[in-house]
Structure formats: structure tokens, C-alpha cells
């Protein structure tokens, strides 16, 4: 189902939505944490966070399809080992993006909705959003780095 589009593997195409969407969602979360920017960032944060999670789901499924198609499901191949680690980190990123999406939606609907009233939720949720946003950035980098190594330098012998 998520293997290809127009005869091309879907994974290398859709992964770019995650590479752009996840850091953009984190950036919007950082902006949302600033009270003066909260009204501006509220709905873009919610939309981009949910979109980044959806793109990550499609990227994960299409990646597993590509792995099956290429026959890289184990063995002594160094590429297979890198792809297995890439897949493991991608699963972790999916969990982090799910948590971030839930936090982003909670922030969009709950934080700062009553003018002149500062509640504990107005302080705690944006702080949690920033912390999980940092995790999004770190895991996005880790997944992308090992995926790029699997494609471009699986043996580690190339120096660019």
C-alpha cells in the first residue's frame, strides 16, 4: 500500500515531508512558548505537528515496504544493519512525534485561552512542548543521519 507512487519508491519522497515538518513543528512550539507569539503560533503549531506525525507514519510504512522490496531484512549485509537501526530509531521518532502532536493540540486548545488569567497549565504545557520539541529535533537528526549513511556511505570508507 505504501510502497510506491508512479513506479517510484514512496519512502525517499515522503521522508522529506518529515525532514521539513518535524523541525518546523518544533520551531513553532518554541515560538508558542513565548507568550507574545502564542496567538500567532497556536494553529500553525497544531496543524504542522499533526501533519508531521502523519508524514512520519507514511514514511515509516513506506520505508518498511522499501526494505522488503530491496531484500534488506537482516543478513550480514552492512546496509541491512544500518537500515535495521534506522528503522528502530524511526519507530522511536514516531512515538516522540505522537507525544509532541498530543502536546501541541493540548497547547492549542488549553493554553492562554482565558484573557488575564494565568493557570498552571499555561506554564507547564509550553515548557513540556519545548522539552519534547528538543527531542523531536534530536531524533529527527539521528534517524536522518543513519538513513543517509545507509544510502550514501554504508561501509564508512568514503570521505567527502
Averaged pLDDT score across all residues of the chain: 91
- What is the reported pLDDT for 1? 64
pLDDT confidence bin for 41, thresholds 50/70/90: very high
Q: Specify which residues 4 forms β-bridges with.
A: 9
Which DSSP state fits 40? H
All structural domains of the chain with their residue ranges: 4-152
Contacts of 98 (CB under 8 A, 6+ apart): 53
The b/e string for 119-130 (b: 16+ C-beta within 10 A; e otherwise) is: eeebeebbebbe
Q: What is the mean pLDDT of residues 13-24?
A: 96
How far apart are the C-alpha atoms of 78 and 75, rounded to whole Å?
8
How far apart are the C-alpha atoms of 107 and 113, rounded to whole Å?
10
Q: What is the mean pLDDT of residues 118-123?
A: 82
Coil, strand or helix: which one is 7? coil
Q: Please, are residues 139 and 96 in contact by the beta-carbon 8 Å criterion?
A: yes
Q: What is the pLDDT of residues 74-120, one digit of tens each?
A: 767 888 889 999 999 999 999 999 999 999 999 999 997 766 656 78
Q: What is the pLDDT of residues 131-141, one digit of tens each?
A: 999 999 999 99
How far apart are the C-alpha atoms of 125 and 132, rounded to whole Å?
10
Long-range contacts made by residues 38-47, C-beta under 8 angstroms, separation at least 24?
38/111, 38/112, 38/126, 39/112, 42/107, 42/108, 43/108, 45/104, 45/107, 45/108, 46/104, 46/105, 46/107, 46/108
Gyration radius (Cα) of the chain, Å: 18
Amino acid at each position: 500500500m505504501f510502497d510506491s507512487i508512479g513506479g517510484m519508491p514512496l519512502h525517499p519522497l515522503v521522508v522529506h515531508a518529515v525532514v521539513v515538518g518535524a523541525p518546523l513543528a518544533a520551531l513553532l512550539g518554541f515560538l508558542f512558548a513565548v507568550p507574545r507569539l502564542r496567538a500567532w503560533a497556536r494553529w500553525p503549531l497544531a496543524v504542522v505537528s499533526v501533519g508531521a506525525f502523519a508524514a512520519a507514519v507514511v514514511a515509516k510504512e513506506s520505508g518498511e515496504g522499501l526494505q522488503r522490496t530491496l531484500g534488506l531484512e537482516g543478513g550480514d549485509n552492512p546496509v541491512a544493519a544500518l537500515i535495521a537501526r534506522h528503522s528502530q530509531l524511526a519507530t522511536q521518532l514516531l512515538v516522540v512525534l505522537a507525544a509532541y502532536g498530543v502536546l501541541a493540540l493540548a497547547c492549542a486548545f488549553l493554553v492562554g485561552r482565558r484573557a488575564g488569567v494565568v493557570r498552571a497549565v499555561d506554564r507547564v504545557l509550553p515548557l513540556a512542548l519545548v522539552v519534547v520539541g528538543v527531542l523531536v529535533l534530536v531524533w529527527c537528526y539521528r534517524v536522518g543521519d543513519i538513513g543517509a549513511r545507509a544510502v550514501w556511505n554504508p561501509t564508512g570508507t568514503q570521505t567527502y
